[in-house]
Structure 1
Amino acid sequence: MTVIRIGTRGSKLAMAQTTTVARGLESKTGVETEIIPIATQGDRSMESLSQIGGQGVFANALRDSLLAGECDVVVHSLKDLPTAEVPGLTIAAIPKRADERDVVCARDELTLATLPAGARVGTGSPRRQAQLRSRYPELEVVDLRGNIDSRLAKVTGGELDAVILAAAGLARAGRAAAITEYLGIAGWPTAPGQGALAIEVRTGEEKLAAVLDHKPSRTKTDAERYVLAFLDAGCSAPLGAHAVIDDGLLFLDARVYALDGSHYFTSSHALYVNDVDDPPREAAQRVSDELLAQGAGELAGVRA
């Protein structure tokens, strides 16, 4: 193969992410790359994620293009990728994960705790909306869509007092200077797979991108995404999950929220990665079983 054609969403962030992947592939394989922008449903619609549904709104068009042979690999933000397998497609690589935390971008260098009562905070994520309502009920949550620049402009223009975004996305888009607060994972678990990219190929062509796979990142994000799968929850479900590998132990925490922030269910488990055949699946099964036993299946976006 003389050129690897890489399909991606056409947003500024997606292009920045894919450019990094392209450089990595060229460096490690010596093969030239070509980036092909593809419009997705999530890019064309400005409806909220809860209205259009989170499952595949940013991924389906990329996958269709890959299956049609219009590109050789596609790059996804892993948190936007449905957990169900697609016949004929395989995730060949998950590169080393970036910062998975959520961040606040607020006026006047404020944080969530220092924003005044009634301040307007924008986010399009049902999870983030539920977390805001749970921890800061005095703030007004505003449903928000758009790219990073348009969201930040609503703060600088005075329409909003703050927005919640992903640290990794801001860094990749060169907008990290707008961050006024990093939200700790312990109190603010993020979307399964947040901060990670997924490089997908047609099954049998994994060698096109396998050189970029980072095994620890794959293990951790697999565990988080198995929770989504076992709870039969979509990418837009009000669910946060976080996995860590430390001294041979895989730690997995997950939390499922009521959309109104009134309550949540949480579960944590750990196991030695050498003690079981499939550590991510086993850890996620234990966490999911406990969440369902607590009643998490009754919350919006999650079914028992």
Structure 2
Amino acid sequence: MSSAAARLGTRRSTMATTQSRAVADSITARTGVPIELVLITSFGDVTRAHLTQLGGTGVFVNALRDELTAGRIEFAVHSLKDLPTAPAEGLALAAVPERDDPRDALCARDGLKFADLPEGARIGTGSPRRVAQLAALRPDLHFVPIRGNAETRLGKVAAGELDAVVLAYAGLSRIGRLDDVTDVFEPDQVLPAPGQGALAVECRAADADGALRYLAAVDHPRTRVAVTAERTVLSKLEAGCAAPVGAHAECRDGRLRLRAAVVATDGSTAVRGERAVDLPDSTAAAVEAAGGLGRELAREMIARGADRIVAAAAEV
């Protein structure tokens, strides 16, 4: 690739490089700017600890942010659900590309649906959010914490170590493993993680409106509006990406509908809420309205005890 190519930082996993390459190709197709992928190893990729032990927030993005700050890459692509909600000094969210399917998917042995899993079936997931909501639906199942990339997790089902795993549908789609999906959870059953299915393009703030203005070519306003509402709920609940918080927002016919849930990790207690707002025509104003909607819903859920569920989950 040309030495003039912009350097895009990405984690090394198949999923990360696949989604980063898709963003790079989209930027090049729309702007003509050539992109070079720079592979970076994050602490979250090499540690054997479970996400809940690490606190979750930032474990997959800090290494990329360090490379950005040091000037060794021009921009980075993250899975938006892994990105901390607090702003990072000196960095900017330059673009949020159009979102893929945000739902969770079940990959089970013998083609089993969720309802058909036998009592006591072993379900692998590293997400307290998934455990909490699935346990509320099927308290008879046994949830097993697991780490590793999607291929590793799917391999545990193929090897008979687990009866099923639950993964993001979008991620499975990106790596060509949709044939492994045996069931898909609608948001009415299991609310996805805030930002799930979406990507984040991050760069140095000083470059966002200058040298890297071309990144805006892959920004998708409706996706940015929706994930702003979801991530605001997460932020106001003071919960990280490993917390048992689900949120899903949809823009339809000029109106934004936001649903959220905080569920105890054993599925026994839940606080759920929903709000909607008409969106202004301006993208900037719509993003502001989405943030306001997220704050209102979070306040309502906190008044009903959602913050106590988050705090209790953090102590587990």
Superposition TM-score, scaled by structure 2 size: 0.93
Contact 2:134 2:190 in 1 (8 A): no
Counterpart residue type for residue 225 of structure 1: R
Kept in 1: contact 2:277–2:293 (CA 8 A): yes
Q: Which amino acid aligns with 1:175?
A: R
- 8 Å contact 1:101–1:184 — kept in the other structure? yes
* 2:292 counterpart residue number: 282
- 1: distance between equivalents of 2:121 and 2:257? 36
Residue deviations 1:147-166, cap 9 Å, x none?
01110000011000000000
Instruction: Name 2:255's counterpart in structure 1.
Output: 249
1:204 is aligned to 206
Code of the residue aligned with 1:217 in structure 2: it is T
Identify which of 130, 136, 139 aligns with 1:137. Answer: 139
RMSD of aligned alpha carbons = 1.4
Amino acid paired to 1:34: E
Are positions 1:232 and 2:234 aligned together?
Answer: no
Q: Deviations over 1:19-39 (max 9, x none)?
A: 101111111121211100111
Matched-pair contact (CA < 8 Å) for 2:261–2:270: yes
* Gap runs ≥5 in structure 2: none
CA contact (8 A) 2:239 2:310 kept: no
Q: Does 1:264 align with 2:266?
A: no
Shift of 1:2: 2.4
| CA distance in structure 2 between the aligned counterparts of 1:288 and 1:32, rounded to whole angstroms | 42
Contact persistence 1:151–1:163 (CA under 8 A): yes
Match for 2:90: what amino acid? G
| Identity rate, percent | 47
Q: In structure 1, how many angstroms separate the alpha carbons of the residues matched to 2:242 and 2:303?
A: 22
- Give how far 1:204 is off: 2.8
Q: CA deviation at 1:13?
A: 0.4
> Which residue matches 1:86?
88
CA–CA separation in structure 2 for the residues paired with 1:149 and 1:299: 32
Question: Partner residue of 1:34?
Answer: 36
Q: Secondary structure at the match of 1:232?
A: coil
CA contact (8 A) 1:259 1:300 kept: no
Question: Secondary structure of the residue that 1:300 maps to in structure 2?
Answer: helix
CA contact (8 A) 1:132 1:141 kept: no
Give the aligned partner of residue 309 of structure 2: 299
Aligned counterpart, 1:47 = 49
Aligned match of 1:23 in 22, 25, 42?
Answer: 25
**1:299 and 1:208 mapped to 2: Cα distance?**
42
Partner Cα distance (2:137, 2:48) in 1 = 27
Structure 1 segments unaligned to the other structure (5+ residues): none
For 1:5, what is the secondary structure of its paired residue? strand
Q: Which residue identity does 1:152 align to in structure 2?
A: L
Question: 1-side partners of 2:252 and 2:176: how far apart?
Answer: 31
Q: How many residues end up aligned between the 2 structures?
A: 303
Which region of structure 1 is more displaced relative to structure 2, 278-287 or 63-72? Answer: 278-287
Residue equivalent to 1:111 = 113
Structural mapping, 1:8-19, within 5 Å: 8-19=10-21
Paired amino acid for 2:218? L
CA distance in 1, matches of 2:37, 2:141: 41
Residue 195 (str. 1) matches residue 197 (str. 2):
yes
CA displacement, residues 208-255 of structure 1 (integer Å, 9 cap, x when unaligned): 411100000000001000001111111111000000111111111100
The one-letter code matched in structure 1 to 2:59 is V
Matches within 5 A, 1:100-179: 100-179=102-181
Whether the 8 Å CA contact 1:250–1:279 is kept in 2: the answer is no
- In structure 2, what residue type is equivalent to 1:205? D
How far does residue 273 in structure 1 lie from its aligned partner after superposition? 1.0
Equivalent AA in structure 2 for residue 292 of structure 1:
I
Q: Distance in 1 between matches of 2:202 and 2:105?
A: 28
